[in-house]
Amino acid sequence: MKKILLKGGKLVSPRGIKKADILISGEKIVAVGRHIQTDATVVNVGGKLIFPGFVDPHTHFDFEVSDTVTADDFSSGTKSAVAGGVTTIVDFAAQKQGEMLSDALNNWHVKAFANSSCDYAFHMSITDWREDVKSELEGMFEQGVTSFKVYMIYDGMELNDREIYEIMQEVKKHGGIVGCHCENSGIIGKLREESIARGDTAPENHPKTRPDYTEAEAVRRFLTIAEAVGAPVIVVHLSTEAGYEEILRARQRGVKVYAETCPQYLLLDEDLYRKPFDESAKYICSPPLRKMHDRKALWQALKNNSLNLVSTDHCSFTVDQKRAGAEDFTKIPNGMPGVENRAVLMYSYGVKKNRITLQQMCAYLSENPAKLYGLYPQKGVVKVGSDADIVVFDPHGSGRITAASGHGKCGYDPFEGVRTEGGIDMVYLRGKLIYNAGEIVLENSGRYVSRKPPVL
């Protein structure tokens, strides 16, 4: 069995930072500590930070939506992921109307198999809740799908409160977890219709027709359902202070609620929607970018450990695809890329700006997603017995984000030109070096990871 000793680095975990060497044998970590006696090949990582491979539990690769398909498929999406230090993604398999969950899951396996440069797992988005679908849930758990997304908005995906209640009841029986896209569909639908009727058709109307209270109301309703069922739940891509306050209130009542935000909601402002169409359309995602006070509240929540995940919601479209909404902002496909730059952004604008600590960065990007989504301790931690998924991070590196130097296929980056500190030096996936000094050195060696129920 091939052995590698990563020597001289500082190992980061949510509990601290310590000097530790890491011995890898085959796909696993077999020793962590100082003065390990071994005949392994030594890799000097002196001066570097060692993180457990990052987990991005919110991607949409090869996703058919809005009469088109995302620019990134599993091939380009997972290469972007690897360049960002991500060794596991959890992508959203999505049921179409009339479809069985088992068929949706098979479709996602076909999309990902032999095309993935990092390991991958699947959530299941349930969009058509029926008796025959209910009877499939057990099979989903047996096949390693233990988390389910429901949408309170979007044609063809939206579920009503009763359906969400029933899904939560069923998922709870199996020890799984339901995540929700929380936006009030009725109000937003009406505001959008009125906006177009007035002739307000440009992207700047996107945030105006999705005000913060539409997220807050939906969060409150989702958490009321969770309270009624007594089920743990996750609010995905939280974007507002008002929504966050609903989470705090629900927690005070004893609701077990976990919450995710994304770099775009921490760092970008709704003013970007005032730019000319080809620029502003790049930032159309739902929920939309928000205001300064929302970003401040989200950073403070991260500082207090009151949020649990910083994921990307990577869902990329080219400018050409976005032009479907040139005359009507409601027709712009929603989403933006993100999987490649999450770690450097969180290091540069989180850790280096004293908004979060390195330990918290490790929790938000590795350990928490691994625990919440049933990947831990195989993933999300550097300890004996875990997969040897490791990021060697240079704390002294610096760079500038450009789409041209990235691996995504949409042709732009929402953070184009932004300066970053730190950098991903090397990435190991199950003991194999897959990224080194700016290059992907091993492609398509990702495997499906069958998940267990969450560790809550």
Residues in contact with ligand URP by CB under 6 A are 60, 181, 237, 285-286, 313, 315, 334-335
214: left (phi over 0), alpha (psi -120 to 50) or beta: alpha
> Which is nearer to Zn ion, 170 or 260 (by Cβ)?
260
In angstroms, give the least distance from the CB of 162 to ligand URP: 21
In angstroms, give the least distance from the CB of 172 to ligand URP: 23
Q: Which does 312 bind (CB under 5 to 8 A by kind): Zn ion, ligand URP, none?
A: none
Q: Which does 378 bind (CB under 5 to 8 A by kind): Zn ion, ligand URP, none?
A: none
Alpha-carbon span 358 to 354, nearest angstrom: 9
Q: Which does 308 bind (CB under 5 to 8 A by kind): ligand URP, Zn ion, none?
A: none
In angstroms, give the least distance from the CB of 281 to ligand URP: 12
In angstroms, give the least distance from the CB of 276 to Zn ion: 26
Binding-site member from 181, 314, 342, 451 for Zn ion (CB under 5 A):
181
In angstroms, give the least distance from the CB of 59 to ligand URP: 9
> Which is nearer to ligand URP, 7 or 237 (by Cβ)?
237
Residues 6 or more apart from 13 whose CB is under 8 A from it?
52, 359, 362, 367, 381, 382
In angstroms, give the least distance from the CB of 315 to ligand URP: 4
> Which is nearer to ligand URP, 298 or 315 (by Cβ)?
315
Q: Which residue is nearest to Zn ion (CB)?
A: 181
> Which is nearer to ligand URP, 312 or 378 (by Cβ)?
312
> Which is nearer to ligand URP, 32 or 159 (by Cβ)?
159
Q: Which does 334 bind (CB under 5 to 8 A by kind): ligand URP, Zn ion, none?
A: ligand URP
In angstroms, give the least distance from the CB of 415 to ligand URP: 16
> Which is nearer to ligand URP, 119 or 313 (by Cβ)?
313
In angstroms, give the least distance from the CB of 410 to Zn ion: 15
Residue type, 214: T
> Which is nearer to ligand URP, 127 or 360 (by Cβ)?
127
> Which is nearer to Zn ion, 181 or 342 (by Cβ)?
181
Q: Which does 207 bind (CB under 5 to 8 A by kind): Zn ion, ligand URP, none?
A: none
> Which is nearer to ligand URP, 238 or 315 (by Cβ)?
315
Alpha-carbon span 65 to 215, nearest angstrom: 21
Interacting span for Zn ion (CB under 5 A) from 65-73, 76-84, 311-319, 323-331: 311-319
Q: Which does 322 bind (CB under 5 to 8 A by kind): Zn ion, ligand URP, none?
A: none
Alpha-carbon span 76 to 126, nearest angstrom: 26
In angstroms, give the least distance from the CB of 92 to ligand URP: 7
Q: Which does 52 bind (CB under 5 to 8 A by kind): ligand URP, Zn ion, none?
A: none
Alpha-carbon span 420 to 424, nearest angstrom: 11
In angstroms, give the least distance from the CB of 237 to ligand URP: 6
Q: Is 313 in the site for Zn ion (CB under 5 A)?
A: yes
Picking from 200, 418, 455, 178, the residue whose alpha carbon sits closest to that of residue 330 is: 200
Q: Which residue is nearest to ligand URP (CB)?
A: 334
Residue 181, beta-bridge partner list: 151
Alpha-carbon span 52 to 59, nearest angstrom: 19
**How many residues contact Zn ion, by CB under 5 A?**
2
> Which is nearer to ligand URP, 158 or 227 (by Cβ)?
158
Alpha-carbon span 148 to 326, nearest angstrom: 33
By the criterion CB under 5 A, which residues form the site for Zn ion? 181, 313
